[in-house]
Structure 1
Amino acid sequence: MAGRGSRLRPHSLTVPKPLIPVAGQPIVHRLVKDIAKVLKQPIEEIAFILGDPAWFGDEVVSSLEELAQDLGAKASIYRQDKPLGTGHAIMCAKPSLSGPAVIAYADTLIRAQFDLDPKADSVIWTKRVDNPEAYGVVKLNEDEEIIELVEKPESFVNDQAVIGIYYFKDVGVLKEKLQEILDKNVMNGGEYQINDGIKRMMADGKIFKTGTVDEWMDCGNKAITIETNQRMLSFIKADGEEQLIASSAKFDNSNIIEPCFIGENVSLKNSTIGPYVSIGNNTSVEDSIVKNSLIQSHTSIKNANLDEAMIGNHVKYDGNYTSISIGDYSILE
């Protein structure tokens, strides 16, 4: 979680990207819960690798500790002080790298149902894509084992893209290989990469298999995050496992076109909301039409016609703009 999320600015200027809510919950909260569903077994510990304490401060730590506690797990907090790559970030959590473990990057969301292959030393989670040349993909042998990771192949190798979630039967083996990389200063693009540790495991004969997810949703920038919010709302509505509209929300001459997430103490007046809108706690919307949009908490919206908009916390908005991106504590009147 140590990155600054520069592609999602201005929203990530005041809130770390993994904690930006999508469909009513922070991205990292949804990701961890979805991984837990796939694993179907108790989780003892969740280790979070964060960046600068000035950015990932006490409030962030408290949120992550509560997330772990809700899953019956211990939270361990580590810091990556310099952006030296995925391999370096993982090694920042060295004390936690033993036994079976999942490693995940906290900027994507998934929907998946599959069983971990008990014969595999590691499972790399993938998603079938239409344009594999734009991704890192896996190369398989006749036994459906991963024998190579290929970054943005110029000719067709496979259509299963690596999404950044990995299972290791014993993550201590990966730790050993990543330590070798650090000791020998093996870098790619000026960074220490997890793939170099994985390749060394493959060279030792470790068995890698795929676990293919049904849905893979990115939260890299504003447009993609709005699309992910739409898809998550549809999934949640179909599942029926979460309450999307808070009982404390107030509606005055307003219409909601589902699916939408409406948070606690939201006030809607003379407005049409939806479909595919998420509104955070303590926000008011008046004399407005809002669809396909994300609006966070403690915000006031008036006289708006919004479509594909992303609006932060503590914003005051009164105007004619449609597809906008406004960060926290902004005023547009």
Structure 2
Amino acid sequence: MKIMLPVAGKGTRLRPHTHTKAKSLVHVAGKTVLEHIISRLTALEATEFIFVIDENGDQIRDFMKKNFPALPCSYVVQKERKGPAHAVSLAAPLIKRGDDLLIVFNDTIFDTDLSLINELCADCDGLIYSKEVEDYQRFGVNVVSEGFITGMVEKPEQPISKLAQVGMYYLKDAAQFMDYLDQTIAAKEMVKGEYYLPPVFMRMMQDGCMFKAPEIDAWLDCGKPDTLLETNSYLLLGRHHIHGQVEDTVLIEPVHIEKGALVRGCILGPNVSVAAGSVIETSIVRNSIINNGSLVRNMILHHSILGDSVQLVSSARRMNIGDHSLIEMQME
């Protein structure tokens, strides 16, 4: 099996955190998004990891070399922004006859048992992983009948299906898939100037290919600040890990403090992750992500994300307040 990870893209919904780093290298629950994803894929023992990168690609290369040096990795550069299907098509030269392929986009972290791929795909040509959602109007959905996908609808107004496509696809015959991808691009089947994967799958189904829509256990969005914080909370459940230095501090589980971080005189938690090199002093922090090398002193933070090397320093207030006074200091 080959695994493709399209990690190009500006990550505009996560700015300012993606101004200087690839969106897949944003931290959540003590790891980068990419590390969470790769750790879920290594058990498949893929023969090759294919990364589709952009101008920030050196960050991805360096990260993989440092954190997963044993994995066989190849890199393809997407110079033009022409959509996800275009990004996948650029890796065609690396796909050989007889290859099977798992494509995993990097906006989401997933929970599912990938060891079932061969069993699930025994009587079909591929898998388009899905998750039932209530806000189906926001997604492309799979329409399923008798266990097989019969159609795909982009952002349906009516609940024809609530099985949203989660950005993970398995193709039993990768070379055949690439042929259909080339046909779709040659036919210029675009939406707002970009190429998407559903038209490729629809072409394949019209020619008799069959796909299933297995539902994953958890679909964790990392594409926006608010959903990144929700994902941080989900991943921290049951993972109260203190590897750094903690002094005179109250910890409200779950909290993840990396080795090399210092927390002194604070109230931390719940749902706080603190990266290596960060120092937090005399502060109250909850439901937040503090990235590498940051300083937080004399602050009250909640639902906050701090990037690398941030310095956020306040000071204690001095007050002279008479009897029967009411002082309200709003946090927002």
Q: Please state which band the TM-score falls in when normalised by the shorter chain.
A: 0.7 to 0.9
- Displacement, 1:322? 8.9
Match of 2:102 in 1: 102
Match of 2:302 in 1: 307
Compare 314-323 and 255-264 and name the one that shifted more.
314-323
Match of 2:292 in 1: 297
Cα distance in 1 between the residues matched to 2:41 and 2:163: 19
Q: Call closer, same or farther: CA 1:34–1:311 in 2, change over 3 Å.
A: same
Q: Do 1:285 and 1:300's aligned partners in 2 also have CA atoms closer than 8 Å?
A: yes
Tell me the alpha carbon deviations over residues 137-168 of structure 1, each in whole angstroms, 9 at most, x when there is no partner: 11112x21001111111222122111110011
Match of 2:144 among 123, 135, 140: 140
Give percent identity, aligned residues only.
Answer: 28
Name the aligned partner's letter for residue 223 of structure 2. G
Instruction: State whether structure 2 residue 62 is matched by structure 1 residue 62.
Output: yes
Q: Secondary structure at the match of 1:12?
A: coil
- Displacement, 1:67? 5.0
Instruction: State whether structure 2 residue 267 is matched by structure 1 residue 272.
Output: yes
Q: Do 2:245 and 2:259's aligned partners in 1 also have CA atoms closer than 8 Å?
A: no
Cα distance in 2 between the residues matched to 1:4 and 1:216: 21
- Displacement, 1:136? 1.1
Q: Do 1:266 and 1:280's aligned partners in 2 also have CA atoms closer than 8 Å?
A: yes
- Displacement, 1:9? 0.7
Cα distance in 2 between the residues matched to 1:136 and 1:19: 26
Cα distance in 1 between the residues matched to 2:126 and 2:215: 13
Q: Do 2:269 and 2:285's aligned partners in 1 also have CA atoms closer than 8 Å?
A: yes
The 4+ residue runs of structure 1 with deviation greater than 4 A are 320-324
Match of 2:167 in 1: 164
Tell me the alpha carbon deviations over residues 261-309 of structure 1, each in whole angstroms, 9 at most, x when there is no partner: 1012111111111110010101111000111000001111000111101
- Displacement, 1:80? 0.4
Larger Rg belongs to: 2
Instruction: State whether structure 2 residue 311 is matched by structure 1 residue 316.
Output: yes
Match of 1:8 in 2: 14
Cα distance in 2 between the residues matched to 1:146 and 1:155: 18
- Displacement, 1:36? 4.4
Cα distance in 2 between the residues matched to 1:322 and 1:276: 22
- Give the gaps of 5 or more residues in structure 1: 238-242, 325-333
Cα distance in 2 between the residues matched to 1:272 and 1:322: 18
Cα distance in 1 between the residues matched to 2:264 and 2:34: 32
Q: Call closer, same or farther: CA 1:291–1:50 in 2, change over 3 Å.
A: same
Q: Secondary structure at the match of 2:213?
A: strand
Cα distance in 1 between the residues matched to 2:30 and 2:330: 22
Instruction: State whether structure 2 residue 130 is matched by structure 1 residue 126.
Output: yes
Cα distance in 2 between the residues matched to 1:172 and 1:43: 17
Normalised TM-score (structure 2): 0.87
Cα distance in 2 between the residues matched to 1:323 and 1:2: 37
Match of 1:200 in 2: 203
- Displacement, 1:207? 1.1
User: What does residue range 41-120 of structure 1 map to in structure 2 within 5 Å?
Assistant: 41-52=44-55, 55-57=56-58, 59-70=59-70, 73-98=71-96, 99-113=99-113, 115-116=116-117, 117=120, 118-120=122-124
Q: Call closer, same or farther: CA 1:203–1:36 in 2, change over 3 Å.
A: farther
Instruction: State whether structure 2 residue 232 is matched by structure 1 residue 217.
Output: no
- Give the gaps of 5 or more residues in structure 2: 1-6, 316-328
Q: Secondary structure at the match of 2:36?
A: helix
Q: Call closer, same or farther: CA 1:147–1:65 in 2, change over 3 Å.
A: farther
RMSD of equivalent CA atoms: 2.0
User: What does residue range 174-253 of structure 1 map to in structure 2 within 5 Å?
Assistant: 174-234=177-237, 237=239, 244-246=241-243, 249-253=244-248
Q: Do 1:283 and 1:298's aligned partners in 2 also have CA atoms closer than 8 Å?
A: yes
Cα distance in 1 between the residues matched to 2:201 and 2:95: 15
Q: Do 1:140 and 1:147's aligned partners in 2 also have CA atoms closer than 8 Å?
A: yes
